[in-house]
Amino acid sequence: MAPTRGGGNSNDPLEVLCTCIASGNQNVDLKKLSKHALQILMSSDTLSTSNSLSELDEHTLIDNIKCQIRLVNSDKHATIFENVYRKLKLLDINSSSKLDILKFLLKLSEFSARRSHNSNVNVFHTNRLNMTRPFFLLISQWMVEGTLRDPHGEFFVCEDSHLNSSYVWEGKYRLSYVLNLFLTIVSSQKNSTSIPNSKDGGRKNWKISSSISKISSSSPVRVNSQFLDSSISRVSVSEREIIQDLIFCLQGIEGKFIKADGKHGFKLDPKVQVERRSIVLCVMELGLLYNTVASYTTLSKHKGFVRQGLVCALREELSNYYHNLCLIQSQASSGNTSSANVIDSPMSEEHLSSTLGGCSFSLLRLMTWTRTQMSRFQCLSDVLGASDGLTGGELISSVARYIHVGSPELLPCVTGLLSSMTRPFFLLISQWMVEGTLRDPHGEFFVCEDSHLNSSYVWEGKYRLSESKIPSFMSKLTAEQILRAGICINFLNHICDEKTPLAGTRKVLRDMETNGDLLSMVRPCNQLSALIESAYSENSKMVLSVLVKKFGLYQHLQGLRRYMLLGQGDFIHCLMKLLIAELNKPASHLHSAYLHEVLDAAIRGTNAQFDDKEVLARLTIKTLVVSSKDLGWDIFVLDYDLNGPLEQILRVKDSPYSTTFKFLWSMKRLDHILSMIWEKQVFATKHLRKLPGNETLAVLLILVLFLASPVRHFKFHLASITSCILELRSLQEAFIQSCEKELKRRTDLELKIEEYGTCEEEQKKHEKCMAKFRTKLIPDMKAQYTSITKSYHSTLKKFLLDLSTHPNVALKLLSNRLDFNEHYQRSHAELSECVKFRRTSDYNASPSASLDRGL
Amino acid sequence: MASANSIVNDKEAFQCILEISNLLNTGLDEKTLSCCVRLCEEGVTPEALALVVKELRRQVSSTQSNSSINNNSTLS
């Protein structure tokens, strides 16, 4: 780009510049001015290589310009600048010269902004002079007496009251931010002070202060007015200072320029102008992350062992971080000492930054270190965010999700966390599996205890799995194995009073307690799961052997089968025979003493007497609560009185055993009745054959026989069928009775005729009776019989239909077995349809159904 | 054609720079700015140039004020 306008009659652009600036002022010696300008150029050319602005990249430069525009103008102007700059960028210009021009403009703007403040302030300096007097008093007291009388914290030397007096040289007295503003102004005015570092300690403070006092005494008004006004203007901060501040920030401490924002984060003072602002902001993010993590570890409300494990891991991570930070700080301060040698000598800001440029530690280096640490802390704070409010197993699950992180650098970080967190969890598991005790005051473990149930409910519901608390990497099977293994040990220790020796897998688990964790479980096939499985099977075997050897489990199971499930046929038959008369009485007339006697008699009278004494001793009779109209049958139950551990497992008293017994007993009764019917029928048929010339009767008898035989095969628990049979029995009894009455009448009559002969009247009466028997009684009986048969068949049909359509495969099979020769299918069309359908559907049935059947 | 094009280009660029200069309150007029631009293009370090401009202004203003003071003293 060529300059569009030449300047005056001279070709030297510097002279043109001088004339331009001096335009309108005739008093100025142009020659002298241009010579002076040349001098400045020559002298600053040597400095310019180390100048801060020259290193700026385009982006930062634009940023700085925007800041400057905001400062001197407004936000709106900054956006205007953006537009203009975009336009400028599109034009075809040499980009380096463009940047140079922009830098020039920025620098000039900064200079002129300060100057304008100064010129404004000078007008009012006399008023402000009075305000600065106490400040000088503070300075002089500090320098002369070495005491700090600054109750309101106005002085720039500030005391850290937490440190005792032995720290005089290190950190007890520090320079505050106020001074820095002050000094920046001073140095920008080319005064011979340099900005000290807060680490430099009291001695240097003094030196700086002395130099200040020189300035102050020479031109007190000017310096003070500058000081008071410095808050308006921008402060440029050297790299060394900002590094120091950043190091503070990384420890969560506020620095001179970087202030806390109250939400764990930090903000850069808007007045501070710094090179590579974006890098500084980037490093400040680590400060935020550090604060997030550190504040988490200091919270005292952490409940639960797992959470404490997490905090412990975080602390470890933090101490590692502190270690690194310490190294960084020592490197940074070693850079400082090299520059501290020259700090006393009058130097400009440019000189200082040039020495720093050669120093070993730079902002870029800090950022490189921050990068790796940042990703770790980012990961940690992500983990903490995700696990907020969770405890125990859920907490572990939430952290375990991060184990799939792809970065090889973050993986050890997450595994470290997980290992530390699962350690107490492993201890819980191990204690549960080894001792059978739950020591889980915070409810973190996935095995939870129902404290409402007493210890006799160990097997049912006292201990349960809480599925949400199972760590996500643990399979449900393993969790169940852990639950059962613990229950086994708990049962042995507390119910069986069995002292279990610590051996085998449990010993291995106990040995692992000191430093075991669940980390290995993350892989699907791992040693720990196998260990748990073997501990589970060992514990189960132990329980079984104790039950079998000490408590005679098999023997009692046999007893239950024989007596409660009516396995001992002769005993049951005998008991039924002995009790049938007694049980037909109303329930209230039953005497338990008599029932017990009968039981003893039944035992004595059958093979049961050779059974185990232990088993027989437990056999007793229980009567249920009587309600009105109950018969003895309704309340009689045989009972097997188990106690101790076996009762807790088998639960004879309220398990299906007594219900099953009641059902089987009523079936046995039906069976008994039917056999009685059969007996009577056979007897009656023979007996009544003498009744002459009565075909209908014969037919009826045969029918009854037919009915009786199939009924005998079915002992369904269906009240209607039971009532059918009972009705049939009463009908049969009534019929046989009347038949026998008729037979008796006839035989009597025959005897009478043989003895005395007969008369017409007698004959007529006999005829009448016979007719009555034939026409009234027999059809009547026949009708009753038909109705019973009908209701029996309809009930049977309904029952079979229900069975065959029942979703349970076992019941379908039962219906199949009942109708094994398809007798009922032939008689009931509907049933056969249904069966057909069922069979085809069975062939297409799902594998699970066939599996069920297989089982 | 190419030269004409570049002249138009340069003019626009200068307008942009002038605008930025005004936004930054540098207080440079068109003529001074063009001098500065030329100096920059000739390889003068921008910071040094800024320093020069600042110093020149200071000197000019000090001579002005000196002369005004002198004037005042002669008046009194």
**Mean pLDDT, residues A70-82 taken together:** 81
Q: What is the pLDDT of residues A503-530, one digit of tens each?
A: 788 888 888 887 777 878 877 778 888 8
**Mean pLDDT, residues A233-244 taken together:** 76
Q: What is the pLDDT of residues A2-31, one digit of tens each?
A: 444 433 445 677 777 777 777 766 666 777
- What percentage of chain A reaches a pLDDT higher than 90? 0
Given a cut of 80, whether residue A534 has pLDDT beyond it is yes
Mean pLDDT over each residue of chain A, to the nearest integer: 73
Pair A698, A775 in one domain = yes
Question: Cβ contacts (< 8 Å) between A75 and chain B: which residues?
Answer: none
Q: How confident is the model at residue A702 (pLDDT cuts 50, 70, 90)?
A: low
Pair A687, A773 in one domain = yes
Q: How far apart are the first and last CA of chain A?
A: 95
Question: Cβ contacts (< 8 Å) between A189 and chain B: which residues?
Answer: none
A675 within domain boundaries: yes
Q: What is the pLDDT of residues A360-386, one digit of tens each?
A: 577 888 888 888 888 888 888 888 888
Given a cut of 80, whether residue A288 has pLDDT beyond it is yes
**A482 Cβ partners below 8 Å, 6+ apart?**
A429, A432, A433, A446, A447, A532, A536
Q: Please report the sign of the dihedral spanned by the C-alpha atoms of residue A188, residue A192, residue A194, residue A196.
A: negative
Pair A435, A504 in one domain = yes
Q: How confident is the model at residue B73 (pLDDT cuts 50, 70, 90)?
A: very low
Pair A530, A628 in one domain = no
**Mean pLDDT, residues A136-140 taken together:** 70
Most confident of A421-425, A731-735, A810-814: A421-425
Q: How many domains does chain A have?
A: 4
Residue of B nearest to A83 (CA): B16
Pair A713, A782 in one domain = yes
Which of B26, B30, B35 comes nearest A109 by C-beta?
A: B26
Q: How confident is the model at residue A229 (pLDDT cuts 50, 70, 90)?
A: very low
Last residue of a domain, one of A654, A678, A709: A654
Pair A675, A817 in one domain = yes
Residue of A nearest to B10 (CA): A1
Last residue of a domain, one of A620, A654, A688: A654
Domain boundaries, chain B: 9-58
Question: Cβ contacts (< 8 Å) between B16 and chain A: which residues?
Answer: 84-85, 87-88, 91
| A814 vs A718 pLDDT, higher one | A814
Q: How confident is the model at residue A319 (pLDDT cuts 50, 70, 90)?
A: very high
Q: How confident is the model at residue A606 (pLDDT cuts 50, 70, 90)?
A: confident
**Mean pLDDT, residues A540-554 taken together:** 88
What residue numbers bound the domain in which A327 lies?
239-305+314-333+362-382
Q: Please report the sign of the dihedral spanned by the C-alpha atoms of residue A344, residue A346, residue A349, residue A355.
A: negative
A437 within domain boundaries: yes
Read out DSSP for A506-573?
HHHHHHHTTT--SGGGGSSS-HHHHHHHHHHHHHHHHHHHHHHHHH-HHHHHHHIIIIIT---HHHHH
Q: What is the pLDDT of residues A463-491, one digit of tens each?
A: 888 888 888 888 888 899 999 888 888 88
Pair A628, A715 in one domain = no
Query: Are residues B26 and A101, on separate chains, in Cβ contact within 8 Å?
Result: no
pLDDT given for residue A846 in this prediction: 42
How many cross-chain Cβ pairs, A to B, lie less than 8 Å apart?
Answer: 177
Residue B75 distance to chain A (closest CA, Å): 18
Q: What is the pLDDT of residues A385-434, one digit of tens each?
A: 888 888 888 888 888 888 888 888 888 888 888 888 888 888 888 888 88
Q: Closest Cα partner for A368 from A283, A252, A278?
A: A283
Given a cut of 60, whether residue A68 has pLDDT beyond it is yes
pLDDT given for residue A740 in this prediction: 73
| Token digits of residue A715 | 């002992």
Pair A620, A544 in one domain = no
Best mutation target among B35, B65, B71 (most A Cβ atoms within 10 Å) is B35
Last residue of a domain, one of A654, A683, A713: A654
- What percentage of chain A reaches a pLDDT higher than 70? 71
A198 within domain boundaries: no
| Token digits of residue A99 | 């940047």
A102 within domain boundaries: no
Q: Three-state DSSP class for A636?
A: strand
**Mean pLDDT, residues A52-61 taken together:** 68
Pair A680, A648 in one domain = no
**Mean pLDDT, residues A75-97 taken together:** 80
Q: Is B65 on the interface with A (CB under 8 A)?
A: no
A611 within domain boundaries: yes
| Token digits of residue A628 | 């009105």
CB proximity under 8 Å: A 56-95 to B:
65, 68-69, 72-73, 77, 80-81, 84-85, 87-88, 91-94
Pair A438, A543 in one domain = yes
